[in-house]
Chain A
Amino acid sequence: MVERTVDVPEGVGLHARPAALFVKAATAAGVPVTVEKPGGEPADARSILAVLSLDVRGGDQVVLRTDGGDAVLDDLEQVISESGDSHG
């Protein structure tokens, strides 16, 4: 199990387009990944409904966990870091 805390850049957060991209990337990883707000309940990163329900906004932090190794988290961290550039 690897774990990583990621800063969500200012911007729309994990809503709209970034949420869809994040869930697509987590699904493509082929292994279970969870995402949670620090201190919150873990949610399935492959579930768009669970990810939207977290209501992660720009400036928040999220904790990612997986058994799939660091490479999986690298990909997801990149998707999150690019969410600040998204126009929607």
Chain B
Amino acid sequence: MADEPAGRVLRGVGVSPGRGAGVVVRVTDAVPEPPADLAPTGDPDAETDRALAALEAVAADLEERGNQAGGDAQEVLEAQAMMARDPGLAGELRRRTGEGAAAARAVFDAFRRYREALAGAGDYLAARLADLDDVRDRAVARLLGVPAPGVPTLTEESVVVGRDLAPADTALLDPKLVAGLVTEEGGPTSHTAILSRALGVPAVVACVGATEIRAGAVALVDGSTGEVVVDPPESEVTAARASAADRRTARASAPASTGPGRLSDGTPVALLANVGGPKDVALAVEAGAEGVGLFRTELAFLDRGTAPSEDEQTTLYAEVLAGFPDQRVVARVLDAGADKPLPFLRRRTEPNPALGVRGLRALFDEPELLATQLRALVRAAEQTSARLELMAPMVAEVSEARDFAAACRAAGFDGPVGVMVEVPAAAVRAGDLLTAMDFVSLGTNDLAQYLFAADRQIGALARLQDPWQPALLDVVSLTAEAATSRGKTCGVCGEAAADPALACVLVGLGVVSLSAGAAALPAVRAALAAHDLDQCRQAAQAARSAVDAGAARTAATALLPGLDGRTG
């Protein structure tokens, strides 16, 4: 262990390992509301001109960002530019400047009318509401002469600090200049966490006090321990920078380390990718995935008012399967959840949707929808050489597993059938489930949510979502042992599999396949190749002997040379 750092130390949850140091750059997340009595600087016409000029500048800036980002981001940014140039908004604006309002206040109030209308439509327009607020804040910031929301352009190695990071903030981040990410909110499955692992940048989330770190200070981020040191001693900064440089070099050479996943003693560990649709296939193949451990079939249909036809589903599934000739593809049937409702499923008003009729429960309520999807998957598999496996989400007891297997057979499927283990009851009685199933796959994000009664979307509960929690590791162990003793397989397809050190621990607990976002695979492959089964088992034992997540991580990484996030 290194000496205790001399600077001020903040603590959060480390979600992307490694150390980095740089100058703090603050994400501006709150543009102040202009005071109602803000004095206009000119006559009404002059105020109108200023306001319209600011909106036009915002529109042009959003279009330019769209051109740079491309893809889906471009569509969102162009729609935002249309909002800034909206003729109805301009009319509202004129009315208010005519009544003597200053430009900034007039813009703020003109947006308010539409804001209320959009907010009234509920969740359906929530994303547009956020877009609208962003346009308003950008225009108001220009008029008040304060920084625009989002991440300023980076000019040197920086630690980006904010309340939380939105996809729009991060679309244009230059990974070469990001030494670390620190957020006050967010959890291990937040956008920031997923992005930082994809970029290979150390990150700490749920870090209390982060938003009080002053811009321009030097900060050191340790994404392994969750420590953030403000104004650290120079020697620590030098060491962290060297560590970051090593990590970049390792990452740059990582694509060469393709091939099947295995430990240093040759023990095979299948390295699979999580995909959401055809657009993810190329990255997965490039990262050397040995197949797909979790095909989230619902992601292509989240915005659909009616269920996609069997033919349309077949085409989409075949596109994904075609990317993995002769390899495993585990397709999870439609998983409508609290955080991702499917509009074509029956709408339910439930006080607690995470504990409601979701996942397989919802599909059993609409058996024709399930049957159609299973037939489409079978037909898609017949068109390609991929080895299809079918998996059900949100299974709690063996009768559900049996019914799912029966539905698969009825659709003409004769390959392996399994279930996700997300509900603690399913983990505790995994042996029962395996009497009806060929495999189980641990969805560690939901499993942690249910095990700790801690909503995955609430940043304040992030420490309970930490996949290093010993209780979660105990449940993983229980499930893996149940599979091993019956000659069946237990995999992990949650974000836990993306953490190289934790990947070794999971293997030590008896997990035989790991599925994660494609970007995480090279680092996980390298970590597995550097350790043998004995080391993984000892690290797993050490982690389970710890009393909390931080201690588990420290104890395990101490036994996994090269994965302690420090150089040497």
A residues apposed to B, CB below 8 Å? 10-13, 15-17, 19-20, 23-24, 43-44, 46-50, 52-53, 55, 57-59, 84, 86-88
Q: Is the pair B124, A55 in contact by a Cβ cutoff of 8 Å?
A: yes
A55 near B121: Cβ-Cβ < 8 Å: yes
Q: A44 touching B125 by the CB < 8 A rule?
A: no
Contact of A52 among B87, B128, B304 (CB under 8 A): B128
Complex CA–CA separation, A25 to B306 (angstroms): 25
Q: Is the CB of A49 within 8 A of B132?
A: yes
Q: How far is the CB of A47 from chain B (nearest CB, A)?
A: 3
Q: How far is the CB of A34 from chain B (nearest CB, A)?
A: 11
Q: Produce 1/0 per residue, B76-88, CB < 8 A to A.
A: 0011001100111
What sequence of 0s and 1s flags, for each residue 2-44 of chain B, a beta carbon within 8 Å of any chain A beta carbon? 0000000000000000000000000000000000000000000
For A15, A20, A52, A87, the residue with the greatest tally of chain B CB atoms inside 10 Å of its CB is A52
**Nearest chain A CB to B168's CB is how many angstroms away?**
15
Instruction: Please pick, from A15, A24, A46, the residue contacting B124 in the complex, using a CB distance under 8 A.
Output: A15
Contact A53 B118 (CB under 8 A): yes
Near A by CB (< 8 A), chain B positions 106-164 give: 114, 117-118, 120-121, 124-125, 127-128, 132
Q: Which residues of B contact A84 (CB under 8 A)?
A: 305-306
State whether A11 touches B89 (Cβ < 8 A).
no
A-B pairs with lowest CB-CB distance, top 9: A47-B88, A58-B305, A53-B117, A10-B306, A55-B121, A49-B114, A11-B305, A10-B305, A48-B82
Task: Report 17 cross-chain contacts, Cβ distance below 8 Å, ordered by A residue.
Answer: A10-B305, A12-B303, A12-B305, A15-B125, A20-B78, A44-B87, A47-B86, A47-B89, A48-B83, A49-B88, A49-B114, A50-B114, A52-B125, A53-B117, A53-B118, A86-B303, A87-B303
Q: Which chain B residues lie closer than 8 Å to A52 at the CB level?
A: 114, 117-118, 125, 128
| In the complex, B282 has a CB within 8 A of chain A | no
**C-alpha spacing A67/B456, complex, angstroms:** 53
Give bound CA distance, A61 to B136, whole Å.
31
| B interface secondary structure, majority | helix
Give complex CA distance A59, B75 in Å.
24
Q: How far is the CB of B367 from chain A (nearest CB, A)?
A: 21
Check if B300 is an interface residue, CB within 8 A of chain A: yes
CB-based nearest B residue for A13: B305
Q: What 11 new A-B contacts, CB under 8 Å, besides A15-B125, A47-B88, A55-B117?
A: A12-B304, A16-B79, A20-B78, A20-B79, A43-B88, A44-B87, A47-B89, A48-B79, A48-B82, A48-B86, A88-B75
Q: How far is the CB of A54 from chain B (nearest CB, A)?
A: 8
Q: List A contacts of B78 (CB < 8 A).
A: 20
Provided the pairs A15-B125, A20-B78 are in contact, do residues A49 and B86 lie with their beta carbons within 8 angstroms?
Answer: yes
Residues of chain A within 8 A of B125, CB atoms compared: 15, 52, 55
Give the CA-CA distance A59 to B306 in the complex, in Å: 10
- A residues less than 8 Å from B304 (CB atoms): 11-12, 87
Task: Using CB atoms, name the residue of chain B closest to A56.
Answer: B121
CB distance from A28 to the nearest CB of B (A): 13
How far does the alpha carbon of A48 sit from the alpha carbon of B125 in the complex, in Å?
A: 13
> For the complex, what is the distance from the CA of A65 to the CA of B62, rounded to whole Å?
32
Q: A48-B79, A55-B121, A88-B303 are in contact. Are A16 and B87 (CB under 8 A)?
A: no
Smallest CB separation, A4 vs chain B (Å)? 22
CB-contacts of B287-313 with A (<8 A): 300, 303-306
Q: How far is the CA of A16 from the CA of B308 in the complex (A)?
A: 19
* Min CB–CB distance B183 → chain A (angstroms): 27
Complexed CA–CA distance, A84 and B309 (Å): 13
Interchain CB contact under 8 A, B306 and A11: yes
Inter-subunit contact A49/B305 (CB<8 Å):
no
Complex Cα spacing A88 to B128, Å:
13
Alpha-carbon gap, A24 to B78, bound state (A): 11
Verify A58–B83 contact, CB threshold 8 A: no
Bound-state Cα–Cα, A57 to B344, Å: 12
B72, B78, B83, B305 pick with most chain A CB within 10 angstroms: B305
With a CB–CB cut-off of 8 A, which chain A residues contact B72? Answer: 88
Distance of A44 Cα from B82 Cα, bound (Å): 14
Q: How far is the CA of A58 from the CA of B117 in the complex (A)?
A: 18
Residues of B within 8 A of A44 (CB): 87-88
What's the minimum C-beta distance from A20 to chain B, rounded to whole angstroms? 5
- Asked if A49 and B83 sit within 8 Å, CB to CB, the answer is yes
B81 to chain A, nearest CB (A): 10
* Closest chain B residue to A43, Cβ basis: B88
Q: Which residue of B lies closest to A86 (CB)?
A: B303
A50 to B121, CA, bound (A): 13
Residues of B within 8 A of A19 (CB): 79
- Neighbour of A15 across the interface among B114, B128, B306, CB < 8 A: B128
Chain B residue, CB-CB nearest to A8: B305
In the complex, chain A residues whose CB is within 8 Å of the CB of B83: 48-49
CA distance A46 to B87 in the complex (A): 7
A47–B132 alpha-carbon span in the complex (Å): 13
A53 touches B305 (CB 8 A): no
| Pairwise interchain contact A50-B305, C-beta atoms closer than 8 A | no
Contact of B300 among A13, A23, A47, A87 (CB under 8 A): A87
Give, as a whole number of angstroms, the nearest-CB distance from A65 to chain B.
16
- Asked, given contacts A15-B128, A48-B82, whether A53 binds B114 with beta carbons under 8 Å apart, the answer is yes
CB closest residue in chain B, given A46? B87
Q: Which of B86, B89, B118 has the most CB of A within 10 A?
A: B86
Distance, CA A72 to CA B21, complexed state (A): 59
Minimum CB–CB distance for A18 against chain B, Å: 10
Residues of chain B within 8 A of A15, CB atoms compared: 124-125, 128
Complex Cα distance A46/B91, Å?
13
Q: Which residue of chain B has its CB nearest to the CB of A88?
A: B303
Residues of chain A lying within 8 A (CB to CB) of residue B124:
15, 55, 57
